[in-house]
Amino acid sequence: MDSFRKLRGVAAPLPMVNVDTDKIIPKQFLKTIERTGLSKGLFYELRYTENGERIDDFVLHQAPYDQARVLVAGENFGCGSSREHAPWALLDFGIRCVIAPSFADIFYNNCFKNGVLPITLPQAQIDALMADAQDRENPELTVDLEKQVITRPNGATVGFKIDPFRRECLLDGLDDIGLTLQKETDIATYEERRVAEAPWLTATRPA
């Protein structure tokens, strides 16, 4: 996955609580295991009517928020079922950071595994960042993962905490597979030794 170091971009305000994963990406979009093309389903029921007509006043349909890289949301974001398509859809739209007072645990963990940075902050700081995002004249935030700081449009900064291991994985662009491949030499060495010590384990059975 792509590394995450410093992100500067438009922040979209979504002042809703308990946004579940079905609202983030409805079930009809879960038929694919591809990580691309899912942006069309992101917040589908908020963006379109039952007849498929576009809801123009939804935030992600409005400029400049249609180019959002950051999402400022309400508490308990990502609750509901444990679908990994939720962070995939956010990422495919271009959103690499979600800032909220709290997240559902499974969604929170899935974000880190897919290159999306979820930041938890106290409600008072969320309110300030939400106000920044709602100012469509200048809704840009800068998220610096190395320094663990968010810079607001007025130049003020907000610090955030993150697990050191997860931080390093994002900085280096390492998902679970990437972490495993770091041990590729050790794994190959083990497999060679195992074959030498117990060749019968890999012996071909007679037809």
Q: How far is CA 68 from CA 59, 72, 90, 91, 188, in A?
A: 10, 10, 10, 11, 43
Q: Write out the chain's pLDDT in tens, 207 residues.
A: 889 999 999 999 999 999 999 999 999 998 888 888 999 999 999 999 999 899 999 999 999 999 999 999 999 999 998 889 999 999 999 999 999 999 999 999 999 999 999 999 999 999 999 999 999 999 999 999 999 999 999 999 999 999 999 999 999 987 766 666 555 676 677 777 777 787 777 766 665
Please indicate, yes or no, if residue 1 is contained in any of the structural domains: no
Decide: 143 and 70 in contact? Cβ < 8 Å.
yes
The closest of 119, 97, 140, 105 to 2, measured between CA atoms, is: 97
Q: What is the pTM of this model?
A: 0.86
207 within domain boundaries: no
Is residue 127 in a domain?
A: yes
Quote the number of domains for the chain.
1
Residue 206 lies in a domain: no
Domain range for 49 is 6-199
| Domain-located, residue 59 | yes
* CB contact at 8 A, 137 and 24: no
Go through the chain and tell me how many residues it has: 207
CA distance 158 to 149: 6
Does residue 112 lie within any of the structural domains? Answer: yes
CATH of the domain at 82: 3.20.19.10
